[in-house]
């Protein structure tokens, strides 16, 4: 991928998809859900609003995950430090492998929260909300770690 316009466009899309996904997690975890909880006390209206927000964000996240997969493959092959997928032969590859494992975990947590949790019977609705919020917070923390790893991976690319 020698063309700077193509590489810049792919990098832009990769960063945009990352901002949508992890930015959405951070916004939901630290702004939207706490605000809904304090302002609406998770009344039926609050729960409906929360579900509407989550539904819209879920669509954006799904598009972002697919976009990240495609653009990630295109970007990975541009680094001279790239030694192969799931390689740990150098620091760059090790961090990239850790990043990919964490992203896989994030996808699994997203599926568990958005698809599986809905089909589990809870005797107490607050229990479901607590598990959902915990999964969201955990995914947010992992997302922040992914951003940290991405920063180090980019730094390795600059040092080459």
**Model confidence, pTM:** 0.85
pLDDT of residue 63: 94
- Indicate the burial class of 156 (C-beta count within 10 angstroms; 0-12, 13-18, 19 or more): middle
pLDDT at 17: 96
Which of 75, 85, 62 has its CA nearest to residue 11?
75
100-126: b (≥16 Cβ within 10 Å) or e: beebeebbebbeebbeeeeeeeeeeee
> How far lies 38's CA from each of 34, 35, 91, 129, 137, in Å?
6, 5, 44, 14, 17
C-alpha to C-alpha distance for 143 and 28, rounded to whole angstroms: 13
Residue 24 DSSP label: H
Give the model confidence (pLDDT) of 54-93 as tens digits. Answer: 888 888 999 999 999 999 988 887 777 777 788 788 888 8
17-60 residue pLDDT tens: 999 999 999 998 998 888 887 877 767 777 788 788 888 888 89
Instruction: Look at 139 and 130; give whichever has higher pLDDT.
Output: 139
CA distance 20 to 42: 25
Coil, helix or strand for 64?
Answer: helix
């Amino acid at each position: 991928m020698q063309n700077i316009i193509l590489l810049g466009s792919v990098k832009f899309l990769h960063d945009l998809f990352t901002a949508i996904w992890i930015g959405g997690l951070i916004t939901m975890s630290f702004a939207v859900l706490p605000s809904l909880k304090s302002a609406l006390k998770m009344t039926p209206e609050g729960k409906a609003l929360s579900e509407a927000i989550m539904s819209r964000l879920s669509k954006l996240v799904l598009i972002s995950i697919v976009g990240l997969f495609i653009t990630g493959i295109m970007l990975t092959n541009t680094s001279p430090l790239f030694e192969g997928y799931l390689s740990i032969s150098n620091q760059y590859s090790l961090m990239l492998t850790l990043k990919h494992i964490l992203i896989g975990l994030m996808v699994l947590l997203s599926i568990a929260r958005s698809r599986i949790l809905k089909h589990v019977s809870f005797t107490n609705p607050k229990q479901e909300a607590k598990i959902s919020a915990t999964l969201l917070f955990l995914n947010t923390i992992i997302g922040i770690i992914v951003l940290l790893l991405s920063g180090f991976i980019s730094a390795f690319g600059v040092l080459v």
